[in-house]
Structures are given as C-alpha cells and as structure tokens.
Chains A and B, each alone.
Chain A
C-alpha cells in the first residue's frame, strides 16, 4: 500500500497574528503543522501498520522551515518525506494543491490523505483540489479508513454524531477529520535522531494555479473584547437575559 500524505505548513494561531497590507505579516509569525495533518499522518501510519506499505509525507516548504514537521512525521512512522521548495509564504491552497498534485503524480499513490481543513483555507482545502488535479474521487471528514485489497472502507462523520460508511475503490483522496486513534506522540529524542540521520527529498515546484481571490482587507474581527456586563439585581439580570434570548429567537 502506497500512501501519500499531503501536509500544510500554516501560521500558528497560538500567537497574535500581525497583519501587513491585506494579508498576514508572514515574517512575524511562526509556521506550524496544520493540526488535522497530525490525524492524516496517524491514519496513514495505522493503515501501514495494518496492511503494510509505505507512507510518504509531502509538503510545500513555504519559508524554509518545514524540516521539523517532516522529521516529526518520520518519528511518527512515515517512511519517506518530500518537500517542495517554494519559498512563498503567501502561496494559497490552490497553488499549493497544484504543486503537491504535480509532485504526487509520479509517486504511484494508492491513497492520498490530507487534513480535512486548515485554519487558513480561505480558498478551500488542498485535499479536494489535489483530487481534482489528479482526477481522483475525494471524500472528506473521515473518522476511520480501513483497506482490504483494492477497496477501502471509509467512515465519515456527520454533525450530530451520525456516521456514514462508504466503500471506495483505490486510488482516491481523503480529507481526514480524525484518525481512529489519537495521533501518537513522537518523543523529541526520536525527532532529533531523525533530524540527524534522515534525508528529505527536495522537489522544485511545478504547475500553476490560483485561488482567484483578490484580498481587499485582513483584520481582526470587530472587537469582542470584554463582555457587555449586565448590571442590576439577580432578578433584573435574569429579566435582561431572558429579553436578550427572546430577541434573538433563542427563548
């Protein structure tokens, strides 16, 4: 089983995000692995452990700092890592998906996984786009993928806890919502060992695609700052809350 995991390096939302012009000030933010990618890597490694095969993790190196995320993937059980040396922190999902699709084309993937979404998917997620560019079917929101022969059984989550099961003929692209088990922890010593011993394959970006979105403005949402305080006795407070709820059709 040849599984390719496409990852996304994104600005960390743990910090404040400074803005420059109409976009994030990419020079003043830390880039981290998209949190859903941890699940897609875990899902891939679980399948490899169940039926054998190789896991290749590929990502676009936007700022020259992707190595750590790739070493982490290796420490978690990936067999091979590839970075597309783009050096373009503002590359949108469409452009990244195109580069990734071009890089994946020659890999003979039986399955391509991506995180179901990322916090900067303003123009959509890379998973379905890679599927479109590779002309493979796409299924997102997966909570478990099992493979038997040429067919995968995919569980997909719906709101309210309903789940749907699909059978999918390989190859296909999946947007992983969660792996059946929480992503494993990679001890730092193992990651560091990978950093010393592993090789990262470098690929030049090929192909062009664009989100076709003109950024007009980027700003923090209108201040929510502090709660509007409701003053008064408990009875008055209760009355005002009930009134508020009724006005919003919530009571």
Chain B
C-alpha cells in the first residue's frame, strides 16, 4: 500500500521510535536496579505466569469499583486486540496488496483461514468501538464529571508537576491518542471498502457509507493511526502509562511473604558488601520491588478510597506517594535533576504528618490491583525518621519509652501485668512455673486497661469452665511488638522479641492463644524469623473449637440480640481469620447482619500502627465513628426491637468503638461488646460481682 518513500519514512520513524523506547525502558530498569535488595522471591517464572493469568482476567481490579472495572476490562482487551491490529496495519502498509477486508479476498487465502479472518475483522472492528466508548467514559469521568476519587486532598504533599496537572496531561495525551489512533484505524479500513459494506466490519462499513472509499484517505488514516503509535510508545515509558507494561510484571514480582510479615529494616541480602542504614531516607533506600511500584501505579486511587487516614482528612494518600515517587524518578532519570535521588522522601514524596497518619491496616496493599505496597514504604520511612532523631509525637514517644522500660505502653510496672489474674476466683497458672497446654498471651490493653479487664477475666472464666489447661506469663510477658515494629522502632521490636522469646523459653506449652489480633499477627508471622516456632491461635478459634468439642455448650440462645461484627485488620485482612467469629455468632443464635465493608474489605478502627498512642489527634470524623454509623445503617435495614450490638474481637476495638459510640451520641442505640461477653451469656457464666482478692 505504502509508496517506497513512505516505506523508507516509516522504517526511519520506527527506528527512532524504537531507540527512544529502548532508552526509556532501559532507564526504568536501571532505576529499579538502584533499589535495595528485596526479600527473596521464589519461583519467579510461575508467579509471573500467574500474574499474567490474573491480568488477562483482570481479577485484581474487581476488588473495588465494579462498573469502572468492567470498563477497564474493555479497555484492556481493546488494547490487547490493538497490539494485533497494529501489526496487521503495519503489514497492510508494508506488504503490497495485503489487506484483510472482505474476508481477505485480495490475498486469496486458503479456505480454512476465511473464518479466522472474518473473526479478526469482526473483533477488531467491534473492539475499536468498545475502546472508543471506554476511553470516552474515562475521559468524561476525569475531565467532565471530575470524579473526586481521582483527586487528592489539598493537604496531601504532591510533586509540583502533579499539582500542575501532570497526570491529567498524561491521561489527555493517551486518551486523545487512543481516540485518534482507533478512529484513524477505523477510517483507514472504511476508506478501503471500495465494494461497499463488509458484514464482518459493521463500524467501518457504517463509516464507509458516510465517507465512501478513498486511496488518499487510506494513506492519511494509516499514517495517523500508525504514526501516532511510533510517537506514543516511547512516550509511554515516560508517563504514568508505564502501567501498561509494568503492572503485570509488578504483580508477578509482588510480595510473597505473609501479609503480616514486614520486610526487615535492613536487607537480609547484601550486594557488593554495601552497608545499609535501617529504613528509608531517600528513594534508593527502598527495595527495588517498591521502586517498581511507582511505574506500575496508574493512580486509580483505589488505595486512597479505602485508606482510613485519608478518610478523616489526614494528609495521607498511598496513591500520591506512588505518583510522587514516579515523578521524582522521572525528573531524576529522564530530566535534569539527578540530585533528587538524594532528596529526603519526607520532603518529596510524603509529608511527615502523612507518614505518621498511617494505621498500617493493609487496606491499600490489599486493594491495589498491581501489587503495590505503599504501606511498606511508610514503615521504612518511619524507621529512618526514628534513627535520625526526627521529633516524634509525644504520645508515641511516651509509649515507646514505657515499652523500653516496662515492656508495656501504658506506663505500668511489669509486676502489675498479672494483677487481674490474682484477683480471679480460681488460680491462673504461671506458665513459667508449671507446664500448660495453652499459653495465653494476654497483651497490654487486655492486661492493664480497666475498661477491658472485665472481658479479660471473662475469657479466663470461660477457658477455666471449659477445662482448658491454660496459663499466662505474668510479669514475664512483654508487649509482642507488632505496633512497635510498625511505628518503625525496629530496635525496640527486637528487644521485645528477645524478652518474649526468653519468657517462652522458660515456659512449657503446646500452643499460644492471643486475645489481641496485633500480638497474634506478629507472633504468628514474624516471631518465626527470630526462632519462635510455635502454633499461634486467636481466641475466637480456640472458643469455636471448645464448642465443637462439646467443652462449651450454648445454654441460652441469644436470639434477642441483633448484631454485626467488625473484622479487626490484624485478624481478618492480615490473617484471614474471618470464619471463626462468624461461626461463633451463628452458634450463639444471634440475629447477624454483615456491614457493607466486611472481611477483606473491613474498615480499620483507626488504632493500629501506633495511632492509638498518638498524643495529637486531628479533627474530623474518626474511622471508628464512621464505622459505628455504618453498623447503625446496616441495622436500619432490618428494623425490629432487638438490642443492637457491635461485636468486636480485639481489646483495642473495645476501647475505640466504645468511645465512638459515645462521641457519635449513639449510646442506647448500639452497644459495643467483646464476643466473649456473648459467649459468657450463652454458656451461662455469670460475672462474679465480688471479686476475690
């Protein structure tokens, strides 16, 4: 089709384009390689293959925004199709008399290929239409409807170029490209239809009926369509649409360790004897996988939607963190600011206030369709801030100081930890003095907070009544360190692990049970790295087992309660502990209703990652308050006279939500209870009013 001059031009253009493209991706690869070693990834080909399948079926995007995700799917398939379409178009240009219109009759193809050609014509024609619709929807969403989900809060730190609309520019360029490219392709096909409509090319035939056929038209449309590609491919490596290529790879190289296991503060693997300071100050302090995150991110902001800190107006947006990272890298590697590689992350990609707003609830990582881990970056940044003497929140500092001296964050003496147990009407074994079946790791809040201790005692009574051979560590227990680690105090975390490992060493037990999901998480997922090999269970699992074994029986069905259940982040999203609490509630016979945000999509109470220690608390509706409202709305859909309960299985939740009920003025409408209170009522344990002491 093309003239010789056109062909020469095309080949030159293709070479230039390829040069820029190779340079672009080489720069990206080199940049990623500047990162620190990541935790070892096993069986990479298999996980890449798995990611390929996931991407093909677009599984990960459907965790949120179902309709838009369907449109994204159309866009995705359209673009995949267009990889072939462009190839065919190129052949049409370069190979004389090559075209596939009218069942490819100009090529005189073998008969068996005719249905394939027709199928190709139909798919590429219809897909072109889909693409135009999909891209138009996305452009309308961004530029006309201005979907707030795509915007950042005023207080979120943004790279100046992002603030000036850099991403919108990217979207517009790529959007316009897709429209021009697809339209030009359709037109190039339409202009070819010299013999009228092709039934397998409905859209092109329709266009043909308007514009007719034209040789010049074919040339012009072809150049627009393919010329654009030559421009856009190198452009992609310099825009947020690196997403197209990097998303599947990033997903294939995503975190393989358990969700509840943080990457170490200093890489375990060392390259060229390099020395590493703990955590991250500059971008190259991040693991290479997390540098790659920035290229995979397309700023869909699903993470921002689910972020509890962002929810109540804190200046944190996980997506902004990623986009700022990419812009920093782009200016440092493609632009003229290599010095940016040495710029503190807290000045360029995320504000210190945002760093300290994260609850480490994992919702952002869980929802990310491309396997990004913004939360891990935040923890790494905290780690270095602590080492570098950054002035931290006074509440957090007090908590850490108390943890270092007393082993708990509440400023209580070690010896007071087991005081509640000494007040029990039966002896609670000291597991460091006599062997026990089950070692109950009680945790700080359950041991010291007067508001939670009645529940702690109730757990002991139920265990006792069920004949469970259990004991506690008394003053030998220290805070497990889950949140200490997430606040970034790796040294203190290690100290606490050592203290607890020493205590475990003194004790004889077969299994550990925790009341606190945070302790549960670190004991289960992180202690093994420090030699702590033991079975860890959450008390909801233990209780369920006691019922299943007949050691506990429901005497009074609790059908007079209407309840909903809050999945604690560190039990649910982190460790998949969704079923035990729900099965328990079913056994107890309550009327149960799920809140819209449940299980994996549960909404954080706002206490995790050290937030509960914060002295300064920002104004705005708290996540916990919002959650109470969510529960009440859920109940409103099932009106009756039953008492409405908000069931928790985490001592911190007891505190957070009891407060939230009061601050939202909903006392009397809804009551927060630990699941143990329901169990006690159902199995018939009366609270001992006068405590033996």
Contact = CB atoms under 8 A, between A and B. Distances in A.
- A and B directly contacting (CB within 8 A): yes
A29 to B, nearest CB: 9
Given A14-B412, A15-B414, A189 B278 contact: yes
Interface string B381-396: 0000011010110100
Nearest to A77: B389
A188 B412 contact: no
B397 A189 contact: no
B447 to A, nearest CB: 13
B387 A182 contact: no
A120 interface: no
Contacts of A30: 405, 413-414
Nearest to B484: A188
B394 A182 contact: yes
B495 interface: yes
Contacts of B411: 14
A187 B489 contact: yes
Contacts of B389: 184-185
Interface in B391-418: 391-392, 394, 397, 400-402, 404-406, 411-416
Interface in B237-256: none
Contacts of B37: none
Interface residues of A, number: 16
B212 interface: no
A188 B404 contact: yes
Given A14-B406, A190-B491, A185 B412 contact: no
B490 interface: yes
A190 B489 CA distance: 11
A71 B413 CA distance: 21
A16 B422 CA distance: 14
Contacts of B397: 182, 185
B262 interface: no
Q: What DSSP secondary structure best describes chain B's contact surface?
A: helix
A30 to B, nearest CB: 7
A191 interface: yes
B413 A14 contact: yes
B401 A185 contact: yes
Contacts of B494: 188-189
Nearest to B401: A185
Contacts of A32: 405
B399 to A, nearest CB: 10
A190 B490 CA distance: 11
B489 A188 contact: yes
Contact of B413 (A12, A188, A189, A191): A12
Contacts of A184: 389, 391
A202 interface: no
A181 B387 contact: no
A102 to B, nearest CB: 30
A228 B221 CA distance: 91
A187 B391 contact: no
A188 B406 contact: no
B197 interface: no
Contacts of A185: 386, 389, 392, 397, 400-401
B492 interface: yes
Contacts of B406: 12, 14
A190 B277 CA distance: 12
A192 B491 CA distance: 8
Contacts of B386: 185, 187
Nearest to A15: B413
A192 to B, nearest CB: 6
B416 A188 contact: no
Nearest to A33: B405
B133 to A, nearest CB: 55
B492 A188 contact: yes
Contacts of A189: 278, 387, 490-491, 494
Given A14-B406, A192-B495, 4 more contacts: A14-B402, A16-B416, A30-B413, A192-B491
Interface of A: 12, 14-16, 30, 32, 181-182, 184-185, 187-192
11 contacts: A12-B406, A14-B413, A15-B414, A15-B416, A16-B413, A185-B386, A185-B389, A187-B489, A188-B492, A189-B278, A191-B491
Interface of B: 278, 386-387, 389, 391-392, 394, 397, 400-402, 404-406, 411-416, 489-492, 494-495
List of 5 A-B pairs having minimum Cβ-Cβ separation, nearest first: A15-B413, A189-B491, A188-B491, A14-B413, A188-B492
